[in-house]
Amino acid sequence: MIDQVLYRRGTTLVRRLRLELGEATPWHRDPFHRVTIILRGDALSIELRDSGECQLLTVAAGRVDWDEPFERVHRAVNVGTQIYEEIAVFLLDRPDAVAQPTVS
């Protein structure tokens, strides 16, 4: 997994995320609004830790989404047939905020 901060200024954070086939993000929460731009990929599974529920998302390069905060602990798993890559622009509430706090 590549999780790289590309830009950070004030309450704006721009991050690049790349998941190989079968790779997952750490368990985390999404406390902030963000805009996500899909660079490549075709399918993600969003797994909810508290219920074990999974939601399959079909994605495509060029797709842009407005993402609302989501406090339930979850992770994204690349279940597609190609590498998944996105750029996300997080709108934080303070300059030192953690965009996606991990949960062990």
The string of pLDDT tens digits covering residues 86-97 is 999 999 999 999
Q: What is the pLDDT of residue 13?
A: 98
Whole-angstrom distance, CA of residue 38 vs CA of residue 71: 22
Predicted local confidence at residue 80, as pLDDT: 98
pTM for the model stands at 0.94
Average pLDDT, the chain: 97
To the nearest 10°, report the CA torsion of 99, 75, 73, 39: 40
- The CA-to-CA distance between both ends of the chain, in Å, stands at 17
Q: How far apart are CA 60 and CA 37, in angstroms?
A: 10
CATH architecture of 2-91: Sandwich (2.60)
Average pLDDT across each block of 10 residues of the chain; the chain has 104 residues. List them in order.
97 98 98 98 98 96 98 98 98 98 94
As a whole number of angstroms, the distance between CA 33 and CA 79 comes to 25
Residue ranges of the alpha helices (H) in the chain? none
- What percent of the residues of the chain are helix, what percent strand, and what percent coil, each to the nearest 5? 0, 60, 40
Task: Calculate the CA 19 to chain-centre distance.
Answer: 10
pLDDT confidence of residue 23: 98
pLDDT tens across 31-44, in order? 999 999 999 999 99
